[in-house]
Amino acid sequence: MSIGEVTSSFGRPYRPTAIALANRMGRLFRIGTRPISRDRVLSEARRKVGLSDFGDEAFLEPLEVLIDSINREAALNPVGRMIIRGRIVGVLINKIVAQDTIKKHPEILHIPVEAPIVVAGLARTGTTMLHRLIAQDPSMRSLASWEAINPAPHTTHEPGKGKDPRFAQAAKAAKGLKYMSPGFFAIHPAEPDAPEEEVILLEQAFLTTTPEAMMNVPTYSKWLEQQDHVPAYQALKRMMQYLQWQRPGIGKPTRWVLKTPHHQEYLDPLLEVFPKATIVHTHRDPLKTSASFFSMVTHLQMIFSDDVDPNRVANHWLDKIEKMARRTMATRDRVNDEGFVDVSYYDLIEDPIPEVERVYEAAEKVLTPEARAAMEASRKVNKQHKYGKHKYSLADFGMTKEDVETRIAEYRARFGVPYE
């Protein structure tokens, strides 16, 4: 498969020789095949950093539901299981380190993080482009990919003394992703120094859609939709405060730009925690975006499992897309669209700067010449299809246009979303 062109024809998952051999040996010698244990991952996190207090233990129930769903439903291969288990331990380590630091520095919880700009459209609607542009503004704060991979390191790096070692860690992770799934960057770039989705920080509460993007965990997914997500957004705010305290050498901006499709299902709890947020609702033809997103998630799940059914993935996420659209519309009805600004993907592609100006006007923020220049410079570097062109179709997932259209017709009509 050419890295310049990523297609969505799904057969046996691609496996580099070393990964295929590791999976084979893992099954043979039962390495990476044992069920994940909640008590063991908690103990390992405590042991690795020599700390014991996780703070509020409300996260234990979602962690248990997630691990049970992984063990029973995800069908992870040995390498995939080791990676997923390692991610869970990593989240717990960051959680316990952040808790310890905040206990020593309670002033962290008084750092203001009000009025974020939140990019919250369906996946593949230009959210990454807009997020990365706004993040170029020196007066805005965003989550860097190298921060996201380890937001609360056990050993801190002193600002101004060389590049943070987490950058090398993130670069290594990106290289590993490229190795395990060539061409994935054409679908979703994951550069170490680029802004990243804060959905990763919601993992601190284990109330996030990240697991169901990475693997088949339907029990956890169904449970997640029925929970109160205010604690998750409170945990997100706490981590944003912690990150501002940890990296103050950037002018101490207190306004963040956030971005993840996850927010569309939970805008009510988001607005309860961030009542002054400006929500940027991006729009593009769902007939185009749905197939693209199904392809991205299927490619991602194939890294961790040898048993991935593209039709199952597509049906699960089409349900999610409908829920996202309906829940977002319900929130907008509740607040009479106050605090929301609509942005068309097609206008973004033609010229994104006027759209940024509209967002800033809604957020009562000035687009300075310095910020505009930084955004224009970024556009020259981060061009569309920078890592190759992604090709896909609904037929790859056993779906027709009618299957999708019947689920999103109300959304299309309300916002006048054109056919592409």
Q: What is the DSSP string of 107-120?
A: GGGGS---S-EEE-
Positive or negative CA dihedral for 85, 88, 90, 92? Answer: negative
Q: Is residue 394 part of a domain?
A: yes
* Dihedral sign from CA coordinates of 170, 172, 174, 177: negative
Number of domains in the chain: 1
Is residue 206 in some structural domain? yes
User: What is the predicted pLDDT for the residue at 2?
Assistant: 37
CATH number (domain holding residue 261): 3.40.50.300
**Helices 60-73/38-49 angle, 10° precision:** 120
Residue 328 covered by a domain: yes
Query: For residue 177, what pLDDT is reported?
Result: 84
Per-residue pLDDT of the chain (420 residues; tens, 9 = 90+): 334 444 545 767 889 999 999 999 999 998 989 999 999 999 999 999 999 999 999 999 999 999 999 999 999 999 999 999 999 999 999 999 999 999 999 999 999 988 999 999 999 999 999 999 999 999 999 999 999 999 999 877 766 677 888 989 888 988 888 888 876 666 666 788 899 999 999 999 999 999 999 999 999 999 999 999 999 999 999 999 999 998 775 556 679 999 999 999 999 999 999 999 999 999 999 999 999 899 999 989 999 999 999 999 999 999 999 999 999 999 999 999 999 999 999 999 999 999 999 999 999 999 999 999 999 999 887 665 454 455 779 999 999 999 999 999 999 999 999 999
Q: Is residue 129 helix, strand or coil?
A: helix
Q: In this predicted structure, what is the pLDDT of residue 4?
A: 46
Residue at token pair 């997100």: 236
Domain that holds residue 121: 5-415
**CA-only gyration radius of the chain, Å:** 21
The pairing of strands 340-344 and 255-259 is unpaired
Residue-level pLDDT at 382: 67
In a domain, 420, yes or no: no
What is the C-alpha separation between 154 and 59, in angstroms, rounded?
21
Q: How far apart are CA 179 and CA 16, in angstroms?
A: 7
Is residue 122 one of the residues assigned to a domain? yes
The C-alpha atoms of residue 208 and residue 206 are separated, in whole angstroms, by: 6
Classify residue 372: in a domain, yes or no: yes
